[in-house]
Amino acid sequence: MSPVPRDRGVLVGTMGLEDDARVDFSRLRADRRGKVFSGMESHGLDALFLGGVGNVRYVSGARQLGRAGVLPFAPIAVVVQGTGRVHLLSTWDEGVPPEIGYEDLYRMNWNPANLAADLAEIPGVREARRVGTDGLTPRFAGLIGQLVTTAALVDAAPVMTAARRVKSPDEITCLDVASAIAEAALGALEDALAPGITERELLGIYNEKVAGLGAPNPPSESVCFATPSRGPVTFRHLASDRAVAEGDLVVLAPGALYAGYEAGLARTRIAGSSGPAGSAELAARCARGMDALITACRPGNTGADLYRAWENAGNPDPGVLLAHGLGLGAEPPLIGLGRGADAVLEEGMVLSVQSWVTQEGVGGCLERGSVHIQNSGASMLTRYGRP
């Protein structure tokens, strides 16, 4: 066992090092599994059937094919309390961690009845009395009852959400690496930003950068938009063909995934030499809003404290979230859009926090960062200059 490096910076890289510095993934997985089994015990769950990408990753640590969008529920991972095993829908062993053996794999099926038959053969499933799931479909609920187990199907969230909420040091390192990849992408976007380039071209440059760094599956393709200096300013998500104009305030908001962990940031930059009159004031207002939100990210505070901090900084409802949880993708809580006032912030949580301000006749300004809530207050995973 190598000593823990005093300079954490050495941990933030994507390659394995000869001295086994950086993330110890087997420790990371064991820690996650431990939290899940302990949660199952305290909630009286005999098994979990999980289909959500983050949940499957959390319990299995498997490297599975990245796909955009969200699919209806299907049980991709099965956790059995009695045997202490994690079972995975994977027809092959590549990408599957060593603690999941060949006998723990079940195969891909197109016929749901065949999948149900495979599930029924997993030791401990048939006799389970309470099974937690992270979703259902009417068809699967029927098949499980007929072919797999007569267990009560209950919500897995009390186990999974609780396990995932507070991050271990290894998870924080993964989030640090994801932050650094996203920052590299921001640098590439800044270099490319000039009047005449299109949002679509910027999106291409973003994808090229994160893929080249080994993170080819982005958390979101909502990564850049130019804001108008005339008329109403709205937050946009889809890259357009329109060329960026001289003086446009352009939002650059790249994210990245490392080992499934998501972090990201946003900065707003002027295309060309100078922005419209009022852009400096808008940027200052955006920064004040961000500072207020970050200051409110303290253990024991609630979502209501973020709402209050935002309003006290003189801002109206931004029409987008103020913050949401980060980990294996986006996580609860959502704070903003009328939600999350009661959400309690805990030490060890990580949030994506954003300040979005607009001024008709100037444009819009977004700042976003990934924040690690620590005992002493907010600690920024994002480290990238503001100007």
Q: Does 220 bind another protein (CB under 8 A)?
A: yes
Nearer residue to another protein within complex by CB, 95 or 145: 95
Stretch of 22-30, 80-88, 153-161, 309-317 contacting another protein, by CB under 8 A: 153-161
User: Does 257 interact with another protein (rule: CB under 8 A)?
Assistant: yes
Kindly tell me which of 2 and 111 has the beta carbon lying closer to another protein.
Answer: 111
Matching residue, tokens 């723990």? 104
76-135: contacts with another protein (CB under 8 A): 91-95, 102, 105-111, 114, 133-135
Nearer to another protein, 152 or 280 (CB): 152
Fill in the DSSP letter of residue 50: E
Position 302 contacts another protein (CB under 8 A): no
Dist CA 208 CA 231 (whole Å): 33
Q: Is residue 222 involved in binding another protein (CB under 8 A)?
A: yes
- CA atoms 105, 110, 113, 114: torsion sign: negative
> 58: burial class by Cβ within 10 Å (0-12, 13-18, 19+)?
buried
Question: Which of residues 21, 25, 43, 63 is near another protein by CB under 8 A?
Answer: 63
Strand partners, 106: 89
State in angstroms the smallest separation of the CB of 335 from another protein. 10
Find the helix or strand (DSSP H, E) in which 281 lies: helix 279-296
Find all residues with CB under 8 Å of 91, minimum gap 6, and list them: 105, 107, 108
- Residues 1, 249: Cα–Cα separation, whole Å: 50
Enter the tokens of residue 30: 């064991």
Nearer to another protein, 257 or 290 (CB): 257
Residues 160-199 that bind another protein (CB under 8 A): none
Quick note: the x/- pattern for another protein over 311-340, rule CB under 8 A, is -------------x---xxxxxxx--xxxx
The CB-of-386 to another protein minimum distance in angstroms stands at: 25
Of 53 and 380, the one with the shorter C-beta distance to another protein is: 53
d(CA 305, CA 300): 10
Residue 141 or 284 having the CB closest to another protein: 141
Tokens describing residue 336: 């903003």
CB-CB contact of 5 with 20 (8 Å): no
Classified as helix, coil or strand, 204 is: helix
- Which of residues 32 and 283 has its CB atom nearest to another protein in the complex? 32
Q: In the complex, what is the shortest distance from the CB of residue 122 to another protein, in angstroms, rounded to a whole number?
A: 13
155 binds another protein (CB under 8 A): yes
Residue 353 CA: distances (Å) to CA of 148, 177, 230, 258, 372: 43, 18, 27, 19, 10
CB nearer to another protein: give 8 or 107: 107
Is 252 a binding residue for another protein by CB under 8 A? The answer is no
